[in-house]
Amino acid sequence: MQGKAYKPEEVASLLQISKNTVYELIKRGDLKAFKVGNKMRIEEVELLAFKERAATDSKRLDESKPDLNQTIKIVGSHDFLLENLIYFAQGQLENIYIQPSFVGSLEGLMMLYRDQADIAAIHLLNSDTNEYNLPTIKQLFPQKDITVLRLASREQGFIVQKGNPKKILGFQDLLRENITFVNRQKGSGTRILFDQLLKKHAIHSNQVNGYEREEWTHLATASYVASGRADVTFGIGNTVDKLDLDFIPVTTEFFDLVFQWKPENSSNLHKMFDIILSNEFRVTLDQLTGYDIAEFGEIIYGEMGTH
């Protein structure tokens, strides 16, 4: 074997998928791996070959689509529950293709506003009202046919190495010279929340070593911590189970889906809505940890599309 070899969590970060999905790809034979002791490794040449195959398959899929209106575009925040939903729904929908893009909560909502998407996944805290999602939604979509569906609440906090060797307990520890941080990208709900909490604790961003280093998913930032490239990041609690890390909870937030109904997407979105609220999908949530789904499926703003 020659060249670089990646850990499964590193492959997950590079492909912006969950570690569990990487293991599933290995199990199916879609991604070849080898063992070093009892640890899986993926050669760089195999990763490049997989990405090339995926790009070719995607191109073929695009070329075979009978109608662009048969695509449901989901944009916004990255979340493992959302990954689970997309995977499940794609298996239920015939001739409708789900196109996800994890661009962050704020950009996702703006893409929905610009009619560049059908559904936005968001968790945006309004610092004035201390309320999630609805203040921003009501401001952007006063005249549009919008439905906001509650998926879950989840904990956000500090993700640290197993055993917390640096004894990181709160925001003041980010000021220590021996602490290195890794951040989420600008516009993500987690980044907005983290910045608001920094302000609350009277900490300037330039006091945090690693604040400018950015990644696009919770798994990507957590993989920095798992590999020792950073001591701490800020993210959702269930990430630690995937990478064998520890978690210090800070706050609870709400994760919602925003549907924008239009004549051309109404039929597809109704089908997506039915899948989300189905008993079959609800059963899959029992396999996920780190979420409170007591309000799952509740419409917290608007009504079902009328188109």
Per residue in 243-270, pLDDT (tens digit) is 899 999 999 999 999 999 999 999 999 9
- Tally of CB atoms within 10 A around 53: 12
Q: Report which DSSP code applies to 172.
A: G
- 3-state SS, residue 285: helix
Number of DSSP helices (H) and strands (E) in the chain, helices first = 11, 15
As a whole number of angstroms, the longest Cα–Cα distance in the chain is 60
> What is the pLDDT, as a whole number, of residue 63?
52
Among 202, 144, 143, which Cα is nearest to 170's?
202
The pairing of beta strand 119-122 with beta strand 71-76: parallel
Q: Which amino acid is at 237?
A: G
Whether pTM > 0.85 for this model: the answer is no
Instruction: Supply the Cα-derived Rg of the chain in whole angstroms.
Output: 20
Among 2, 89, 80, which Cα is nearest to 44's?
2
- 3-state SS, residue 181: strand
| Residue spans per domain, the chain | 1-63
Rounded to whole angstroms, the Cα distance separating 259 from 272 reads: 10
Measure Cα distances from 18 to 5, 189, 218, 305 in Å: 18, 19, 10, 32
pLDDT range class, residue 306, cuts 50, 70, 90 = low
Rounded to whole angstroms, the Cα distance separating 68 from 48 reads: 29
Among 267, 229, 225, which Cα is nearest to 242's?
225
* Helix (H), strand (E) at residue 240: helix 239-243
Measure Cα distances from 112 to 13, 92, 167, 228 in Å: 26, 24, 41, 37
Task: Out of 1.10.10, 1.10.1660, 1.20.140, 3.40.140, select the CATH number for domain 1-63.
Answer: 1.10.1660
Q: What is the pLDDT of residues 29-72, one digit of tens each?
A: 778 888 887 788 988 878 877 777 766 655 554 555 445 458 99
Q: What is the pLDDT of residues 113-122, one digit of tens each?
A: 999 999 999 9
